[in-house]
Chain A
Amino acid sequence: MAASFISRMAPPRLRIFYAILAIFVVVALFAPWIAPENPNSQNLLGRLKPPGSDVRGITYWIGSDELGRDLLSRVIYGARVSLMVAVLSVVGSGLVGTSLGMIAGYYRGVTGTVIMRLVDIVLSVPAILLAIITVAIMGPGLVNVVIVLAFTRWPRYARVAYGQTLGLMSLPYVRLSQTMGAAGPWVIRRHILPNIIGPIMVVVTLEIGLMVLFEAGLSFLGLGVQPPTPSWGAILSSGRNYMTTAWWIAIFPGLCLFTLILSVNVLGDHVRDMVEKRR
């Protein structure tokens, strides 16, 4: 059973994407041990050096930036920021959205209507616009980015949780639990949540990639994490000015973004297929 589970979740053609994802996660977790240099230490003699340059015993494997900082170290630390923001905002929005969606689906009535109207309202504003406005008000920074993303993204989970919960409400096992005297919170926690977690996980996998992109976008616009903290979006943003003279600054974080999001999306599609096949 364990073997067949692995072959279903990770068929050979997908293992490369799992490997890429695993590498990013390991790099993010162990950045301080993996990065060859301090990502913020500047070196005026080593500015804008191309990949492979050696300056006073320091090797810039993928080059250096306009302040002579080691780009490899910055990209490695940037993975940390990107993944942390993505995971935290997905957890935050997932918890809020799933809870509200289940409550709306279970109690329906006025409670349900109010929650789902709120969902419609938040969803009707373009997410990136909402994020920009909120950051503009609350100020930039890593914590605020997470809060903003959680706040703008919960309705997606709420919609899925609401629809799934409505579907479960007419099922006999939910009914049996109610006839046994179980109140709403009991039924929601023990019978609804475990049975809708599959579709919620599909949203999670889709959102993770999107959150990495959003963080990069906000940082690119200067609304995300603030210098000198390295983030892929921020590095891309400053590298934009040197595209002709020092292409590596923008290319490497861009490549990282691309491969990470590609892997997450391919794996997300697979999770969705698995969940849908299970019905």
Chain B
Amino acid sequence: MTDAPVLEMRDVTVSINGNPVVDHLSLHVDPGETLALVGESGCGKSLTALSVLNLLPDVATRSAGAINLQGSRIDTLSQRQMDAVRGSRIGMIFQEPVASLDPLMRIGRQITEALRLSGPVSSTEAEKRAIAMLDRVGIREPALRVTQYPFELSGGMCQRVMIAIAMIRQPALLIADEPTTALDVTIQAQILELMADLRRDLGTAVLLITHDMGVVAEIADRIAVMYAGRIVETGPVNEVLGTPAHPYTALLLRTVPRIDGPRKKMLPAIEGIVPEATDWPEGCRFRDRCPLATEICAEMPPLAAKGRESHRAACWHSDRVAEVA
């Protein structure tokens, strides 16, 4: 039981108007582990995360698959039953730190609300815990901050507050959807450090969603690369980043600024964009943009099981990926 994955998604499909925008996706996050889900904008990362919480937008539906949290299924629960899972067993933070806080509610109240959702707490006790949690996420003068409104805080501080809200009930899983994208680089590094810290102290498993390979290298244990609704490569971070087995991964890696490289140089982006689910090509969905594509890529989708058990890629020409980098 203890080594059951904290989160396990099997063949999860999310459809919009009958088109699977997340297509038979499987992934798992082990206890205490950080899994990075990586891919360009529009490839289905956020919908994957929201499908775990059963909070998909109106237009999207989860049409297949199973989701297990700490060994028990949660995709079959009703919305009401999910309310007891959300927040207390799964916390989530996202991209817009300032907009994610209610502009009319004091910071302290927003944190204590999170506690109250688990049941009654005395207000002095709740306030004490809110202040302690703010201190824990590295906010100075927490006793003053709890009395302030979001507009009085910087973006970085708001992101720390959101982390405090998500973590105060010590969920087993934290889903972070592009948590640092809206922040400038120095703040980004601080927030990543804080998340790594908290994960170490509390043993929280993290599903980190990002399009930034630099972030991945910094704090992830494993990586799952997503393209057009599917996982195309997955494995331990150093293996995948060191010897990518899918050309998409290799191309994404080229977009990362090198520490030793010139600072402000334009980074090469991958040519083209992620096609909408209605325009996905037959065979390999990446083939329109792939420098290694051959005939077989158009005829048959590549199998996901290629490669070693821990490091797998869905590509017919994994052995030639080195040519891309």
Contact, CB under 8 Å: B104 / A195 = yes
Provide the bound-state CA to CA distance between A171 and B103, in Å. 11
**B114 — which chain A residues lie within 8 A by C-beta?**
180
Q: Which residue of B lies closest to A180 (CB)?
A: B87
Within 8 A of A (CB), among B92-133: 92, 94-96, 99-105, 113-114, 117
Interface check B324, CB cutoff 8 A: no
CA distance A191 to B99 in the complex (A): 13
* CA distance in complex: A116, B34 (Å): 46
Rounded to whole angstroms, the CA-CA distance of A160 and B58 in the bound complex is 22
A126 contacts B by Cβ under 8 Å? no
Instruction: Judge whether B86 and A178 touch: CB under 8 Å.
Output: yes
Interface pair B104/A194, CB less than 8 Å apart: yes
Interface status of A183 (Cβ within 8 A of chain B)? yes
In the complex, the answer to whether A173 meets B101 with C-beta atoms within 8 Å is: yes
Interface 1/0s, chain B 224-240, versus A by CB < 8 A?
00000000000000000
Do the beta carbons of B83 and A179 come within 8 Å of each other?
no
Establish whether residues B102 and A173, one from each chain, have CB atoms under 8 Å apart when the complex forms: yes
> Residues of A contacting B166 with CB < 8 Å?
179-180
**Shortest distance from the beta carbon of A201 to any chain B beta carbon, whole Å:** 14
Chain A's interface: helix, strand, loop or mixed, by majority?
A: helix
Are B102 and A181 within 8 A (Cβ)? no
Set of chain A residues within 8 Å of B53, measured between Cβ atoms:
179
Residue B251, interface by CB 8 Å: no
Q: A108-B58, A176-B162 are in contact. Are A182 and B117 (CB under 8 A)?
A: yes
A108→B59 CA distance, assembly (Å): 12
The answer to whether the Cβ of A172 comes within 8 Å of any Cβ in the partner chain is yes
- Report B252-307 residues with CB < 8 Å from chain A CB: none
B247 interfacial by beta-carbon distance below 8 Å: no
Complex contacts, A172 vs chain B, CB 8 Å: 94-96, 99-100
B88–A181 touching, CB < 8 Å: yes
A18 CB, nearest partner CB in chain B, Å: 25
Known: A172-B99, A175-B94, A176-B100. A190 touches B165 (CB 8 A): no
Whether A181 pairs with B99 at a CB distance below 8 angstroms is no
State A175–B94 Cα separation when bound (angstroms). 10
With CB as the reference atom, state the residue of chain B lying closest to A182: B117
What chain A residues lie within 8 Å of B95 (beta carbons)? 172
Closest to B90 in A: A179
A195 touches B83 (CB 8 A): no
B16 within 8 A of A: no
A258 at interface, CB cutoff 8 A: no
Please state if A183 and B99 are interface contacts (CB–CB under 8 Å). Answer: no
Nearest-neighbour CB distance to chain A for B74, whole angstroms, equals 13
Task: State whether A181 touches B55 (Cβ < 8 A).
Answer: no
User: Is B100 a contact partner of A190 (Cβ separation < 8 A)?
Assistant: no
Nearest-neighbour CB distance to chain B for A177, whole angstroms, equals 8
Query: Do B102 and A179 touch across chains, with their CB atoms under 8 A apart?
Result: no
Please tell me if the beta carbons of B101 and A179 are within 8 angstroms of each other in the complex.
no
Interface residues of A in 202-227 (CB under 8 A from B): none
B105 and A194 form a contact (CB under 8 A): yes
Q: How far does the Cβ of B51 sit from chain A's closest Cβ, in whole Å?
A: 13
A residues apposed to B, CB below 8 Å: 108, 171-173, 175-183, 186, 190-191, 194-195
11 contacts between A and B (CB under 8 A): A172-B95, A173-B100, A176-B162, A179-B55, A179-B87, A180-B113, A180-B117, A181-B88, A181-B117, A183-B83, A195-B104
Known: A179-B87, A180-B113, A195-B102; 12 extra A-B contacts, CB below 8 A, are A172-B100, A173-B101, A176-B101, A176-B162, A179-B86, A179-B91, A180-B114, A181-B83, A181-B85, A181-B87, A181-B88, A195-B104
Closest 10 CB pairs of A and B: A181-B87, A180-B87, A181-B86, A172-B100, A179-B92, A172-B99, A181-B83, A173-B102, A172-B96, A176-B100
